[in-house]
Amino acid sequence: MKVVQLSSAHYVFDNRIFNKISKSLVNNGYDVDLLIQHTKDEVVDGVNVIALPKVSGKLGRPFKVIPSLFRKVIEYPSKTIFHFHDPELIPMGLLLRFFGYKVIYDIHEDSVTDIEQKNYLNPLLKKISTIVLKKLESLA
């Protein structure tokens, strides 16, 4: 069974995604791909790391990382299980679910509270972002 871990924001060897989840799945007989920002495709401890473009700053993710991720995701067969870790990937997860894939959304933090606590954000943008995120999370 193929399980594909998706992240647009995490470090490639994030303890939770790589060590606790991906390696555990491999150790239990699953074929695991990890699509994540990295410098090269490689196999590490049985996990197939599939490189997405590395970007600095948050603006690079929606314009470089997510489109690259989407192009790779649509190549997987319908029996693939997708496990994603970032709120910005909820629309992609919903689309995958619509097309019949099994999808898991793994919420690591309380993202709504995180946004509300960012004092540098414009108050209107903060309010809109929290409303949109609450709605997306309710659908995921």
> pLDDT tens-digit profile of 28-73?
999 999 999 999 999 999 999 999 999 887 777 877 898 999 999 9
Type of residue numbered 107: I
pTM for the whole thing? 0.80
Query: Averaged over 78-92, what is the pLDDT?
Result: 92
What stretch of H or E contains 52?
strand 47-52
Count CB-CB contacts under 10 A for residue 68. 18
pLDDT of residue 139: 72
pLDDT of residue 107: 73
pLDDT in tens, 93-123: 999 999 999 999 987 675 656 666 677 777 7
Percent composition of the chain: helix, strand, coil (DSSP 3-state, to 5): 45, 20, 35
Higher pLDDT, 127 or 85: 85
Cβ–Cβ < 8 Å for 63, 56: no
